[in-house]
Each structure stands twice: as C-alpha cells, then as structure tokens.
Amino acid sequence: MARQARIDAPEALHHIIIRGIERRTIFRDDRDRERFLERLETVLKETSTPCYAWALMKNHAHLLLRTGLVPIATVMRRLLTGYAQGFNRRYRRHGQLFQNRYKSVLCEEDPYLLELVRYIHLNPLRAKAVESLRALASYAYGGHAVLTGKRVCKWQDRRYVLRLFAKTEKKALRGYHEFMAAGAKQGRRPDLVGGGLVRSVGGWSALKALRTRRERVKGDERILGSSEFVERVLEMAEEEMEKKTAYRARGLDMKSLLQRIAEYYGIDLKEVKGKSKAAGVARARAVFCYLAVEKLDERCASVAKALAISPSAVSKAMKRGRSIVAGSNAEQALLEC
C-alpha cells in the first residue's frame, strides 16, 4: 500500500517521533546530543517554529512542535539532514542514520497538548534513563528540566505550557508537578504515539459504544483527535493541496513567479534579486519568499540561492510575506496575470 502524504496546516500541533534505522543508536554520547540540540535551536529560530516538549533517548527522539513559518516537513528535513551528515563524518560511516520517514502525527490541541507534553517528558523515566521524577528534573536532554526551571532553553516555549496550569509561576509549577506525578503512575500510553480511529475515540470500548449509538466516526493514522477534528484537518489539507496544484498547473516555477511579482509591484527583476531595502522591493521579495516555499514547495535554500541571500533571511522574509498576502489580493492577481 502506498504511504499517505504528510498532513500540515498553519499553526498545527505535531508529535514528531524520530528513530534510528533498524532502531540503531543515533546519539552515541553527549557531544552528539549537544550537536543535535544546537541544530534544532538554529532551525526552530530561523523558521519561527514553537517547541513545547522534547526528549532525546539513545535510539530515538520526541518533539512536540507547532507549524511556524514553513511546513514541518521542511523543518525536519533541515534538522535531520544536517545532523546525519555531521554524524556520518564524525564516525566515518556511510548510509542512512534515520528511518526513511520520521513519524508525524497532527494533534488536536485542547485534549492532547498537555497529555503529549507529559508523555514526551516522561520518556526518560519510562526507559529507565533516570530512576525517579526527582532525577528527571536534572535530566539534561529533555524539556522537563526546562519547565521545572532547572535548566534554561530559549527555544522551548516554557511560558505557553505553564500558563495552561495557572497564571502565576508558583501555582503553575505546582500544578505541573502534580500532573507529571499522576502521569508517572499510568505507564505507557500507546494512544498518544499515533492517530487512527481507535486511538482517536479513546479505545475499542469507546468505538463500540459510538457504533452502538450509530454515531458517525472518522479516523486517520496521521491525525490524533475527534472525528470532527479529523474531518476538518483533511478538508484543510485538501484545500491547501489544491492551491499548490494551482501554481504548478499554471506553469509557475520560481523563475516565472519572480517575474510576475516584479511586474505586479512595478519594479525591475534585478532589484528583487539584489539587496535593496527600498520598501517596494522588500515587499516584493517577502511575497516571493512566502509563495515560493508555501505554494511551490521550494526549499528555503533554493529560494535563498535564487535571491542571493541567506536561508535565515528567507525565513524572516516569509513571515512578512505571509501577512502581506493575507491582507491583499496579491496572490489571486499573480495567479491570473
């Protein structure tokens, strides 16, 4: 059976699971872990991708991310490709380091965000990398220590998670500690590592009850959430795919898109490719960066090369480009001209 395409959406919540090929080690020592975290920090900052939870184990890793300026697939490609290349150089090895496809499950936020934060942060305890919850607070390679205030991690959105427990830090920390202690007694949670109909509705007993009442339910292995949430996400994904197809169907590529944008804004094509900071030029460049990555599925590196700027500059321009496109009819005009 052909594997399904990944699903993404603006500001979507994703539980990412990365495994070594054939479950082999992907972090041989702390230096490997630090290199992975350094690269993760760089990619998350450049793409404005929020991270709420994370844990690095010996042969796998968990991340809880929200889609930022670029698709999660782009974020993960930049993270994993760069890390694997460095890993292979360091150990003089060749070939794949990770499984062909990391696992990505798009999750419904209200019922699952805190459950996933807890599940991910309890990983070292379940795997016996630490002996107790107290020891987990000092574990250097997981986000629990950051939430408890034992470690500082600027790219992890600590405030967002704690605010879900209480407005003041003292009360929030107390609530979080109680939440984690209750979760430590639950054992493994297979319902939180993948989507699907049975998992999404709460198990076989819940599914049977729904069927008994003849209620309509919908599931998808790529999505963790209610039937209504699954349907909504699938509709959004279909709409987004249609938009991307529209660009290619009109014969648009980076070269022709750049030409249309230059004409639309009435500026010389060479100016868009240059480093001019004039308001009109910067606006055109921002729109191009956003549409090239979001609608043509081009990589930030490819867009950067086309404009002779850095990938980080592309990421920053995309943020502005998104707001410009959202507040005008520029996109429709570009497709029709």
Other residues' Cβ atoms within 10 Å of the Cβ of residue 323: 12
d(CA 302, CA 314): 10
State pLDDT tens for residues 152-205. 999 999 999 999 999 999 999 999 999 999 998 876 666 666 544 334 444 434
| Rounded (5°) CA angle 301-303-308 | 90
pLDDT at position 207: 37
pLDDT at position 221: 63
pLDDT at position 83: 95
CATH architecture of structural domain 251-336: Orthogonal Bundle (1.10)
DSSP run (H or E) holding 7: none
Give the model's confidence band at 5: pLDDT under 50 very low, under 70 low, under 90 confident, else very high. low
Contacts of residue 72, defined as CB under 8 A and 6 or more positions apart, other chains included, come to 6, 8, 12, 14, 16, 49, 65, 104
State pLDDT tens for residues 228-285. 766 766 666 665 655 655 676 677 888 899 999 988 888 888 888 877 788 888 999 9
Helix (H, G, I), strand (E, B) or coil at 102: coil
Q: Which residue ranges make up each domain of the chain?
A: 13-191, 195-249, 251-336
**Per the CATH hierarchy, to which homologous superfamily does domain 13-191 belong?**
Transposase IS200-like (3.30.70.1290)
d(CA 18, CA 3): 17
DSSP state of 167: S
In this predicted structure, the answer to whether residue 101 has a pLDDT above a threshold of 80 is no
pLDDT at position 64: 97
pLDDT at position 240: 62
d(CA 310, CA 227): 42
Residue with the bigger pLDDT between 35 and 215: it is 35
State pLDDT tens for residues 284-309. 999 999 888 888 878 888 888 888 88
51 with 147: CB under 8 angstroms? no
DSSP state of 140: T
pLDDT at position 245: 59
282 with 313: CB under 8 angstroms? no
pLDDT at position 313: 85
In this predicted structure, the answer to whether residue 122 has a pLDDT above a threshold of 80 is yes
Centroid of chain to Cα 28: 25
d(CA 122, CA 312): 33
Mean pLDDT in residue range 17-32: 94
**Mean pLDDT, rounded, of the chain:** 83
Residue with the bigger pLDDT between 144 and 102: it is 144
32 with 24: CB under 8 angstroms? no
Mean pLDDT in residue range 10-37: 93
pLDDT at position 194: 55
105 with 195: CB under 8 angstroms? yes
In this predicted structure, the answer to whether residue 75 has a pLDDT above a threshold of 50 is yes
Mean pLDDT in residue range 45-51: 92
